[in-house]
Amino acid sequence: MINKAIILLCWACACGHAETVKFRPGSDKEAAFMVRSGGQLSGGNRRFADVRSSWTYRFNFKRSKGAKIELEIGNQYAVSYSTNDWEYLPLLDAGVTGEETKPQTIETVDVEKLLGGRPGMLYLKFADCVPENGWGGMLSSIKISGTLSDEKPAEPERPTFAGNPIPLPKKTADVVDVFDCGREPKAIQMMLCSLQGIVAQTQPAICLSAHNFWFKELEKSGVKTEVQPSWAALLEKHKGAVKGYILCDSETWNMATTFAGIRQGLVVHEEIESEIKAFGLKKLNDVRGKDLRWFHTFLSTKAKGRFAINGIVNIKDDRLAMRDWAIANKFIYVHSGLQPNILEKFYQLVAVGACRYGWNDPVDDEFGDVNFAGERGLFTIPTDHTQNLTLISALADPKLFRAAPPPVPAVAKIKNKHIVTILVSDGDNLNLMLEGYRDTYFGSSRRGEIPLGWMVPSSSFDLCPTTYKWYCENATDNDVLLGALSGPGYVYPSKMRGVDAYAKLYDFYNRRAGLKYGVIMDLPDSQAEQKEVFSQFLNRNSYQEGLFFIDYSNYAKWKGDAYLIDGKPVVSLRYILWEGQMSPEEIKQKLAASPTDPSSPESYSVIMLHLWSYNPDEIVEAFSDLPENVELVRPDLFLNMIKEAL
């Protein structure tokens, strides 16, 4: 269905005459016009925008008089245009619904009309007018008539963050105030989250959930608590840390959250302004009616140097999640539903190498989400529900904190067996580690009956130290913690801008958390590229002793391929336990017919358990009874054994 596009461009030469230039998407010439890549390509001459995927070209016209663009286009297309890369207006639409598609046709764009006869930039964005069914817009060719310039707008200057961008744990206040805000109106909840964050700029001292498991674990280390009877009592006690309030409405929660960190002002919705005024607090800013372009301009000019450049938070909807964290650390807080052209501009306000906290951008899917940030130099810590992180990340005494994963067992000499290990997916999600992992998966009563590898972000050592310590202390001899996905955060290394700096952070957190083995997910173009990139993460000087590799395009694409980098093993998945793909019984049948020569890499298999398809109890039941020629071992032992076979 999908073919490569041939794009015909009229290229302006110095004397002003138009010259027709042909090129295919993915070529160097297309890259000169592509602002944000996307869509799907394959052999041929077409590019498709299916569901939420899109791509954008930028054309710089020296002259627009008489200029036009002819698009050979079809299917369910939607084309919009912009002259500033902020506001995009509808331009062309296939005008179809349901499964109906429009035959390929020629659509003509009047450039002179759009640019008002003046020179300037014209942006064309191609998308899907019926994203529900995936037929997508289809572009076969473009023909541009006009005088173009090859000059590009200057890219924003961005520093590369040197060192660790993740804030280190702070010491809690001697007494932590507890107030459960769950039943309060949304406006009060938002205001209290901002109070929590402002106070935590100095010292974490507020918990907004009386039933938080990790806070109760923190109490065991000697943190004293005091329950506050009302939100008003809590505010009265801590209003000395507040300089005033930021007035907002339901459209500007996020803008106010960013201002709250910069100015130490409460986030106050217009509905409760009179109540907050009664505490003697003054209005610092009124962001009602302000749009994102104003917000971005303010941050890049008047607020420059006042917000942190080592992180940014973007969360879906108007949730409470991560607001205290953003305010405490003076991070920009934006909605994850922003269009890519706008989200990109906010990403460019922070440093290359910064951490992006959040999930669910409007960019295709999981890969598009993570890769969009990675291409702009940010690694992702997936979390879109986490609250109270300012307190969860704190410790009664950070200097005394210690947490060590279980020791690695000695290499066993197992003969005439096919060696297998199982990895549990999705541990990169911080919120899952705080809740779902502990409750449902790591909390299984049958955990420990068989060896399993549990993925955790190595940055959890600092983001939720009490949590990380709990996992270490509650691990059985059959449980192994693995740094994933891609270490302190989630990123595809071969696609990431500034990957060399990230590789250093990867090693820093492996050492800090004591994780000698890890999991990296990537989408390399070739095995040669994979090895070149991984050599930055695993080498003779790195702390880690081995890696498991997952290819995003097909988790088991490399079918157990294994090799050494500086004497350390990298092993890809051979099987996936994923509903609708292979069942435990089908995998066991394949294992029963597998080789058992310990000197051959073919005698070793890595299985990944998809967390949302099977629970640990089902896997324990299935893999407690294995064929006689199969031995299930811990992931760390597995890597040490296959190392001797490579």
Same domain, 229 and 325: yes
Same domain, 121 and 188: no
Whether 414 maps to a domain, the answer reads yes
Same domain, 412 and 294: no
Whether 159 maps to a domain, the answer reads no
The token pair that represents 381 in the structure block = 């810590």
Same domain, 412 and 306: no
Query: What are the helix (H) ranges across 321-414?
Result: 323-329, 340-347, 366-375, 389-392
- CA–CA separation, 558 and 540 (whole Å): 24
Q: Which of 357, 374, 392 corresponds to the end of one domain?
A: 392
Q: Which of 334, 365, 392 corresponds to the end of one domain?
A: 392
Whether 105 maps to a domain, the answer reads yes
Same domain, 522 and 577: yes
Residue 169 · residue 393 · CB < 8 Å? yes
Among 408, 397, 541, smallest CA distance to 480 is for 408
- Name the packing angle between helices 186-200 and 253-263 (round to 10°): 30
- CA–CA separation, 634 and 646 (whole Å): 19
Question: Which runs of E-coded beta strand occur in 359-513?
Answer: 379-382, 418-424, 452-456, 479-483
pLDDT per position as a tens digit, 553-596: 999 999 999 999 999 999 999 999 998 889 999 999 999 999 99
CATH at residue 574: 3.20.20.490
User: For the sheet containing 355-358, what is the strand order?
Assistant: 332-335, 311-315, 355-358, 379-382
The three-state DSSP-derived secondary structure of 123-177 is EEEEEECCCCCCCCEEEEEEEEEEEEECCCCCCCCCCECCCCCCCCCCECCCEEE
The token pair that represents 181 in the structure block = 């805000």
> How many secondary structure helices (H) and strands (E) does the chain include?
21, 31
Q: Which of 392, 419, 447 corresponds to the end of one domain?
A: 392
Task: Count how many domains the chain has.
Answer: 3
Q: What is the per-residue pLDDT for 250?
A: 95
Residue 219 · residue 394 · CB < 8 Å? no
Q: What is the per-residue pLDDT for 2?
A: 37
Whether 256 maps to a domain, the answer reads yes
Helix (H) or strand (E) holding 560: none
- CA–CA separation, 111 and 66 (whole Å): 8
Kindly write down the DSSP assignment for every residue of 590-646, as one continuous string: HHHTS---TTSGGGEEEEEE-TTT--HHHHHHHHSS--TTEEE--HHHHHHHHHTT-
- Cβ-count burial of 410 within 10 angstroms (0-12 exposed, 13-18 middle, 19+ buried)? exposed
CB atoms under 10 Å from CB of 334, counted, come to 26
Among 129, 141, 53, 132, smallest CA distance to 93 is for 129
Among 388, 385, 248, smallest CA distance to 317 is for 385
Q: What is the per-residue pLDDT for 32?
A: 83
The residue whose two tokens read 């991560």 is 322
Please name the amino acid found at residue 609: L
Q: What is the per-residue pLDDT for 16?
A: 45
Q: What is the per-residue pLDDT for 454?
A: 95
The token pair that represents 147 in the structure block = 């005088």
Whether 21 maps to a domain, the answer reads yes
Residue 64 · residue 112 · CB < 8 Å? yes
Instruction: Express as a percent the part of the chain with pLDDT over 70.
Output: 95
Whether 161 maps to a domain, the answer reads no
- Cβ-count burial of 623 within 10 angstroms (0-12 exposed, 13-18 middle, 19+ buried)? buried
Find out whether the peptide bond into 485 is cis, omega within 30 degrees of 0: yes
Same domain, 440 and 510: yes
Whether 369 maps to a domain, the answer reads yes
Same domain, 234 and 110: no
The residue whose two tokens read 């669910």 is 360
Please name the amino acid found at residue 185: P
- Cβ-count burial of 89 within 10 angstroms (0-12 exposed, 13-18 middle, 19+ buried)? exposed
Coil, strand, or helix at residue 531?
A: helix
- Name the packing angle between helices 584-592 and 616-623 (round to 10°): 30
CATH at residue 136: 2.60.120.260
Same domain, 376 and 405: no
Instruction: Give this prediction's pTM.
Output: 0.91
* Cα dihedral 526, 531, 536, 537 in deg (nearest 10): 100
Whether 165 maps to a domain, the answer reads no
Q: Which residues share a beta bridge with 563?
A: 570
- CA–CA separation, 451 and 454 (whole Å): 10
Same domain, 253 and 351: yes
Q: What is the per-residue pLDDT for 6?
A: 34
Same domain, 505 and 564: yes
Q: What is the per-residue pLDDT for 364?
A: 57
| DSSP code of residue 241 | G
Distance of CA 342 to the CA centre of its chain: 17
Coil, strand, or helix at residue 434?
A: helix
Same domain, 332 and 272: yes
Same domain, 570 and 455: yes
Q: Which residues share a beta bridge with 109?
A: 69
Task: Mark the ranges of the chain whose per-residue pLDDT is less than 50.
Answer: 1-17
Q: What is the per-residue pLDDT for 8?
A: 37
What's the domain range around 370?
A: 175-392
Helix (H) or strand (E) holding 397: none
